């Protein structure tokens, strides 16, 4: 490999500004899609974390394979994505309004032993899915549930009614991943 070959690997075929704009547009498009459409499928990883991994893998793959970008272009694109991820983490930590936009609110699924069917429909959860998560938490009957919520990270948290068996002074709290 000659010095000329190394220079070819590091040259820009596409303007760095265009790469930054493309990376920014895709980051926000996919983030909003994950935020509003795929909420409960995210599991315990944050949506922004999954998004960052997917986009960096794609950007790095293109740069490594040489299909349409150079190493420099891949580095600029990865840097753009990492920058947006860091900025969103920082902004959600620093500003409550940003956090409220970036993280979906918890959704009540069961309140005082009663299923909230409208909320189940809005989250596309079935009664058997909720009941399976309650059983994972050691709860067999809906009457034993004070509250069960779908949390922003896709897990279901459960608080027992005070009268429920195996109660540990005032109701125990459990969390289990959905699905």
- Render pLDDT for 15-35 as a digit per residue (tens, 0 to 9): 888 888 888 888 888 788 767
Using pLDDT thresholds of 50, 70 and 90, give the confidence band for residue 9: confident
- Share the mean pLDDT of the chain: 80
Q: 40-65 pLDDT, tens per residue? A: 544 556 677 777 778 777 776 665 55
* Domain layout of the chain by residue ranges: 3-102, 107-177
Q: Tell me the β-bridge partners of 111.
A: 114, 147
Contacts of residue 63, Cβ cutoff 8 Å, sequence gap at least 6: 69, 70, 71, 73, 74, 75, 77, 78
Which pLDDT band, with edges at 50, 70 and 90, does 118 fall under?
A: very high
Query: Which residue spans within the chain are E strands per DSSP?
Result: 107-111, 114-115, 145-150, 155-160, 173-177
Tens-place pLDDT, residues 87-110: 988 999 999 999 888 888 899 999
CATH code of domain 107-177:
3.30.240.20
- In terms of Cβ atoms closer than 10 Å to its own Cβ (0-12, 13-18, 19+), residue 75 is middle
């Amino acid at each position: 490999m000659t010095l000329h070959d190394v220079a070819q690997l590091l040259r820009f075929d596409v303007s760095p500004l265009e790469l930054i704009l493309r990376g920014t547009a895709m980051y926000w498009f996919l983030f909003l899609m994950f935020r509003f459409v795929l909420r409960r499928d995210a599991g315990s990883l944050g949506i922004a974390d999954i998004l960052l991994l997917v986009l960096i893998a794609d950007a790095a793959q293109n740069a490594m394979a040489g299909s349409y970008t150079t190493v420099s272009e891949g580095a600029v694109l990865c840097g753009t994505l990492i920058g947006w991820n860091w900025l969103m983490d920082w902004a959600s930590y620093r500003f409550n309004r940003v956090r409220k936009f970036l993280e979906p609110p918890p959704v009540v699924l069961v309140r005082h032993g009663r299923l909230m069917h409208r909320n189940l429909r809005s989250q596309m959860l079935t009664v058997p899915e909720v009941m399976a998560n309650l059983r994972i938490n050691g709860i067999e009957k809906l009457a034993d549930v004070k509250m069960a919520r779908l949390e922003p990270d896709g897990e279901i948290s459960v608080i027992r009614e005070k009268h429920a068996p195996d109660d540990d002074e005032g109701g125990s709290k459990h969390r289990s991943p959905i699905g």
